[in-house]
Amino acid sequence: MNLYEHTIVARQDTSPAQIKLLAEKYSKIIEKNEGEIVQTEEWGLLNLAHIIKKNKKGIFMHFKIKGAGSVIGELEKNEAIDKNLLRFMTVKVKKFDLKANYFQKKNKQKKKK
Amino acid sequence: MPTKKRTGNKKGKQSNFAKLSIFQPNKYKFKKSCPLSVKGAPEVDYKNIKLLKKYMSENGKILPSRITNVSQKKQRELSLSIKRARNLALI
């Protein structure tokens, strides 16, 4: 069993309902392949540093997955076809740091202001 | 012949400087320690954009470690995580 951090960037004009569907779809794929989702984070709409496929903004989602390498293979196979996604990235980690949420903090501060 | 004389002078100066540095150690030290390997330093991560931006130029290039005094090990981690963040268009 390995630990992975997986992030998805979706198009900015996908509706919130569609994003929920996306998250469900991929979490189902993970569970089918005997993977386990430890944590999900929604970073929300962020400005992209450079334009990707004519998009200036993207909706970021972050998964922390525990499972074998075959899970990631299945995930990325499906994500490469998906037209709603701009980018995806998986990073293999030795330890999860579940405390530090660099993007959620910012959102909370904005809401307080 | 003149070259030999010069080298002799240089050696003499160096030895003098070394003696000085014994007596006044603090004034002649220019080395800084690595800011990322001190105790309590933040971990290098591709999600921590604030930290990564400190070690990049305004044009988005990675700053060399001879300017930032980052240790070789941490510099490798930095460059990897900066490249990951670039892929996600965070930086």
Residues of A within 8 A of B43 (CB-CB) are 97
Is residue A111 within 8 angstroms of chain B, CB to CB? no
User: Over the stretch A5-57, which tens digit does the pLDDT of each residue have?
Assistant: 999 999 999 999 999 999 999 999 999 999 999 999 999 999 999 999 999 99
Burial profile A40-62: b = 16 or more Cβ within 10 angstroms, e = fewer:
ebebeebebeeebeebeebbbbb
Q: What is the C-alpha to C-alpha distance for residues A93 and B43, in angstroms, rounded to an integer?
A: 13
**What is the predicted pLDDT for the residue at A113?**
46
Q: What is the C-alpha to C-alpha distance for residues B48 and B43, in angstroms, rounded to an integer?
A: 9
**What is the predicted pLDDT for the residue at A101?**
75
User: Over the stretch B31-72, which tens digit does the pLDDT of each residue have?
Assistant: 678 889 888 888 899 999 999 999 999 999 999 999 889 999
Element (H, E) at A11: strand A2-11
- Range of lowest pLDDT (A12-21, A88-97, B20-29, B76-85): B20-29
The reported pTM is: 0.76
pLDDT interval class at A104 (50, 70, 90): low
ipTM of the shown complex: 0.84
Q: Which of A89, A100, A102 sits opposite B88 (nearest CB)?
A: A89
Q: Which residue has the higher pLDDT, A11 or A105?
A: A11
Mean of pLDDT over chain A: 88
Paired strand residues for A87: A9
Question: Once rounded to an integer, what is the mean pLDDT over residues B64-85?
Answer: 93
Q: How far is B89 from chain A (nearest CA, A)?
A: 5
**What is the predicted pLDDT for the residue at A96?**
87
